[in-house]
Protein backbone atom coordinates (compact mmCIF):
# COMPACT_ATOMS: atom_id res chain seq x y z
CA UNK A 1 0.00 0.00 0.00
CA UNK A 2 1.28 3.44 -0.89
CA UNK A 3 1.75 6.01 1.82
CA UNK A 4 -0.44 8.74 0.31
CA UNK A 5 -1.31 10.22 3.71
CA UNK A 6 1.11 9.46 6.51
CA UNK A 7 0.31 8.96 10.18
CA UNK A 8 2.77 10.46 12.59
CA UNK A 9 3.10 9.08 16.14
CA UNK A 10 3.59 12.65 17.36
CA UNK A 11 -0.11 13.23 16.58
CA UNK A 12 -1.14 10.82 19.34
CA UNK A 13 -3.48 12.44 21.83
CA UNK A 14 -2.90 9.80 24.51
CA UNK A 15 -6.25 8.02 24.27
CA UNK A 16 -5.50 4.60 22.81
CA UNK A 17 -8.90 4.05 21.21
CA UNK A 18 -8.86 7.44 19.47
CA UNK A 19 -5.22 7.20 18.42
CA UNK A 20 -5.90 3.78 16.89
CA UNK A 21 -8.95 5.11 15.05
CA UNK A 22 -6.96 8.04 13.67
CA UNK A 23 -4.32 5.62 12.41
CA UNK A 24 -7.00 3.43 10.83
CA UNK A 25 -8.67 6.39 9.11
CA UNK A 26 -5.42 7.40 7.48
CA UNK A 27 -4.79 3.80 6.40
CA UNK A 28 -8.24 3.77 4.78
CA UNK A 29 -7.39 6.96 2.87
CA UNK A 30 -4.24 5.22 1.64
CA UNK A 31 -6.25 2.18 0.52
CA UNK A 32 -8.61 4.51 -1.32
CA UNK A 33 -5.63 6.20 -2.98
CA UNK A 34 -4.38 2.80 -4.11
CA UNK A 35 -7.83 1.89 -5.44
CA UNK A 36 -7.87 5.09 -7.49
CA UNK A 37 -4.36 4.49 -8.75
CA UNK A 38 -5.25 0.92 -9.72
CA UNK A 39 -8.46 2.03 -11.50
CA UNK A 40 -10.73 -0.18 -9.41
CA UNK A 41 -13.94 1.43 -10.67
CA UNK A 42 -16.85 3.53 -9.49
CA UNK A 43 -18.59 0.87 -7.41
CA UNK A 44 -15.48 -0.16 -5.46
CA UNK A 45 -14.46 3.47 -4.86
CA UNK A 46 -18.03 4.31 -3.80
CA UNK A 47 -18.01 1.44 -1.30
CA UNK A 48 -14.72 2.66 0.13
CA UNK A 49 -15.96 6.26 0.41
CA UNK A 50 -19.11 5.02 2.19
CA UNK A 51 -17.00 2.94 4.56
CA UNK A 52 -14.77 5.92 5.40
CA UNK A 53 -17.81 8.15 5.99
CA UNK A 54 -19.45 5.55 8.27
CA UNK A 55 -16.18 5.04 10.14
CA UNK A 56 -15.85 8.80 10.64
CA UNK A 57 -19.37 8.96 12.15
CA UNK A 58 -18.48 6.19 14.63
CA UNK A 59 -15.11 7.77 15.37
CA UNK A 60 -16.63 11.19 16.05
CA UNK A 61 -19.21 9.60 18.37
CA UNK A 62 -16.42 7.84 20.30
CA UNK A 63 -14.35 11.00 20.47
CA UNK A 64 -17.32 13.08 21.64
CA UNK A 65 -18.14 10.53 24.34
CA UNK A 66 -14.57 10.78 25.62
CA UNK A 67 -14.79 14.58 25.61
CA UNK A 68 -17.96 14.43 27.71
CA UNK A 69 -16.46 11.80 30.02
CA UNK A 70 -13.42 14.02 30.63
CA UNK A 71 -15.48 17.19 31.04
CA UNK A 72 -13.73 18.83 28.08
CA UNK A 73 -14.65 22.54 28.02
CA UNK A 74 -14.50 22.82 24.23
CA UNK A 75 -17.01 20.02 23.62
CA UNK A 76 -19.75 22.07 21.93
CA UNK A 77 -17.39 23.81 19.54
CA UNK A 78 -15.56 20.57 18.77
CA UNK A 79 -18.83 18.73 18.11
CA UNK A 80 -19.94 21.53 15.78
CA UNK A 81 -16.70 21.13 13.82
CA UNK A 82 -17.42 17.40 13.49
CA UNK A 83 -21.03 18.02 12.45
CA UNK A 84 -20.06 20.60 9.83
CA UNK A 85 -17.44 18.28 8.38
CA UNK A 86 -19.89 15.36 8.23
CA UNK A 87 -22.33 17.58 6.31
CA UNK A 88 -19.55 18.37 3.84
CA UNK A 89 -18.63 14.70 3.45
CA UNK A 90 -22.28 13.72 2.98
CA UNK A 91 -22.72 16.37 0.27
CA UNK A 92 -19.60 15.19 -1.57
CA UNK A 93 -20.68 11.54 -1.41
CA UNK A 94 -24.09 12.50 -2.76
CA UNK A 95 -22.46 14.29 -5.69
CA UNK A 96 -20.32 11.21 -6.31
CA UNK A 97 -23.31 8.88 -6.32
CA UNK A 98 -25.24 11.22 -8.62
CA UNK A 99 -22.56 10.82 -11.24
CA UNK A 100 -19.83 13.30 -10.42
CA UNK A 101 -17.31 10.51 -10.12
CA UNK A 102 -14.39 11.46 -12.29
CA UNK A 103 -10.96 10.55 -11.02
CA UNK A 104 -10.26 14.25 -10.50
CA UNK A 105 -13.34 14.64 -8.29
CA UNK A 106 -12.45 11.60 -6.19
CA UNK A 107 -8.87 12.86 -5.80
CA UNK A 108 -10.31 16.16 -4.55
CA UNK A 109 -12.42 14.24 -2.03
CA UNK A 110 -9.46 12.18 -0.83
CA UNK A 111 -7.25 15.26 -0.57
CA UNK A 112 -9.90 17.19 1.36
CA UNK A 113 -10.59 14.30 3.73
CA UNK A 114 -6.89 13.74 4.34
CA UNK A 115 -6.03 17.42 4.83
CA UNK A 116 -8.98 18.00 7.15
CA UNK A 117 -8.22 14.88 9.18
CA UNK A 118 -4.54 15.71 9.63
CA UNK A 119 -5.24 19.32 10.58
CA UNK A 120 -8.05 18.32 12.93
CA UNK A 121 -5.92 15.72 14.70
CA UNK A 122 -2.95 18.10 14.99
CA UNK A 123 -5.12 20.97 16.19
CA UNK A 124 -8.53 20.36 17.72
CA UNK A 125 -8.00 16.79 18.91
CA UNK A 126 -4.77 17.66 20.71
CA UNK A 127 -6.76 20.02 22.93
CA UNK A 128 -8.88 17.15 24.31
CA UNK A 129 -5.98 15.86 26.40
CA UNK A 130 -3.68 18.86 26.29
CA UNK A 131 -1.26 17.07 23.95
CA UNK A 132 0.76 19.01 21.43
CA UNK A 133 1.74 17.84 17.98
How many domains are there within the chain?
1
Q: Is residue 70 part of a domain?
A: yes
Q: Is residue 115 part of a domain?
A: yes
- Check which CATH number belongs to the domain holding 52 and give it: 1.20.120.50
pLDDT in tens, 94-113: 998 898 878 888 888 888 88
Q: Is residue 31 part of a domain?
A: yes
Domain with 33 in it: 26-129
Contacts 24+ apart (CB under 8 A), 27-34: 27/1, 28/52, 28/55, 29/4, 29/5, 29/110, 29/113, 29/114, 29/117, 30/1, 30/2, 30/3, 30/4, 30/5, 31/1, 32/110, 33/2, 33/4, 33/5, 33/110, 34/1, 34/2, 34/4
Share of the chain above pLDDT 90, in %: 40
pLDDT in tens, 23-38: 888 888 888 888 888 8
Q: Is residue 13 part of a domain?
A: no
Amino acid sequence: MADWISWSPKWRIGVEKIDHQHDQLLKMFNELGDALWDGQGKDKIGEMLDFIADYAVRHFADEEAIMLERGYDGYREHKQIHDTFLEEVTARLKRYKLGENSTEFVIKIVNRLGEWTREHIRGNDQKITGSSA
